[in-house]
Amino acid sequence: MIKQLDYKPIYEIFARFREAEAEPKGELDHVNAYTLVVAVALSAQATDKGVNKATAELFKVADTPQKMLDLGEDALIEHIKTIGLYRTKAKNVIKLSQRLVDAFDGDVPSSRAALESLPGVGRKTANVVLNMWWHVPTQAVDTHIFRFGNRSGVAVGKDVVAVERAIEDHIPAEFQQHAHHWMILHGRYVCKARKPLCSTCLIRDLCDFEEKNID
């Protein structure tokens, strides 16, 4: 395993990310906190582009928990059947919508524990919602962040919880708010799984990836 980077190179890495894109944005389309929860829940084992295509029409008719319940599971399936695991996801969306109505008066709660009480919502989804909607500096570790964190030495850990803790412990506070978006976007478009674009990487000189001279 690559050694955890020290403060100075991590600071410089995120300073460069900030200079390149000061306000990185998530790529899942949504119109309110509820549709963000639904979009993130649907994105498991699916691309953001694919989710956005499926929800473009869905969110026009079901942008609240009650409207989703009124739409019903069968009609929901018709909207999202191009997404992987769509039947299971449809059941969870209906269940989480019912719980929001029953337990939270139709509002999306703003604590991690309450969010994780919703069917189909795990820690990663909760962290995304907390970060994107309420601007809490939470770290939602997906495959892109896990790969980039361990390759680069920015956030080293054997599992997603360990990487999340490494991000919180090692990345300077001023970068925490946007850290997970910078890392997701870098992992998705530059530090790719099979063929990372090391030759054009803006942090190549600071990265500890042992195979970065493969291009």
Q: Is the pTM of this model over 0.95?
A: no
Lookup: tokens for 41: 């829940």
pLDDT of residue 107 exceeding 50, the answer is yes
> Residue 46 carries which DSSP code?
S
CA–CA gap between residue 125 and residue 93 (Å, rounded)? 13
Q: Is 142 a catalytic residue?
A: yes
Q: Which of 124, 159, 212, 215 is catalytic?
A: 124
Cβ atoms of 189 and 34 closer than 8 Å: no
pLDDT in tens, 38-84: 999 999 889 999 999 999 999 999 999 999 999 999 999 999 999 99
Q: Is 25 a catalytic residue?
A: no
- Is the torsion defined by CA of 121, 127, 132, 133 positive or negative? positive
pLDDT on residue 212:
64
Helices (H), 21-142: 33-42, 48-61, 65-71, 73-80, 86-104, 112-116, 123-134
**105 in the Ramachandran plot: left (φ > 0), alpha (ψ -120 to 50) or beta?**
left
pLDDT on residue 208:
82
Q: Which of 142, 159, 192, 195 is catalytic?
A: 142
**159 in the Ramachandran plot: left (φ > 0), alpha (ψ -120 to 50) or beta?**
beta
Instruction: Count CB neighbours of 43 within 10 A.
Output: 23
* 84 to 40, 48, 95, 123, 126: CA distances (angstroms): 13, 12, 18, 20, 20
pLDDT on residue 45:
87
Cβ atoms of 110 and 135 closer than 8 Å: no
Query: What interhelical angle do 48-61 and 73-80 show, nearest 10?
Result: 140
pLDDT range class, residue 2, cuts 50, 70, 90: confident
